[in-house]
Amino acid sequence: MVAHRLVEIHAIQHRRVIPRCWKVDRFGRSLKHLVNALADLVAYGVAFVSLRDNLDLSTPSGRLMFQIIGAMAEFERSLIQERVRAGLRNARLKGKTLGRPRRIVNGDQMAKLRGQGASFREIAKAVGASPGTVRTRLLRG
């Protein structure tokens, strides 16, 4: 998104800019985003170069290929997301714990220090945890 905005700013300032990307599917997250970004570039009179796909977006066939490649990229991303979700669901069903291991901290010591008026930061230093971990554990009970 930031790169697209920079291209727009340069185009508005009448600087000669040719955005280049390795593959068309790296230029946007969805077909809609790709088409809108291309329309913006055309509106500003900015050329677009795809180094790997070798597309000429000034022709109807080039724009068609751009959209086909974008649609395939969006489809591929959807398949990857689906496989990841299925894998996570399968891991949960098998009872595997996901994420990093929980930090073991002494809850009694934290409660005692908090009762003595210590701040979360002071307690964190004493027990070797982050202030966020201390706060979360103490507020949960």
CATH of the domain at 74: 3.40.50.1390
Predicted pLDDT at 116: 93
Are 85 and 130 members of one domain?
no
Residues 6+ apart with CB under 8 A from 124: 130, 131, 133, 134
Q: What is the pLDDT of residues 115-132, one digit of tens each?
A: 999 998 999 998 888 898
Are 86 and 23 members of one domain?
yes
Does pLDDT of 70 surpass 50? Answer: yes
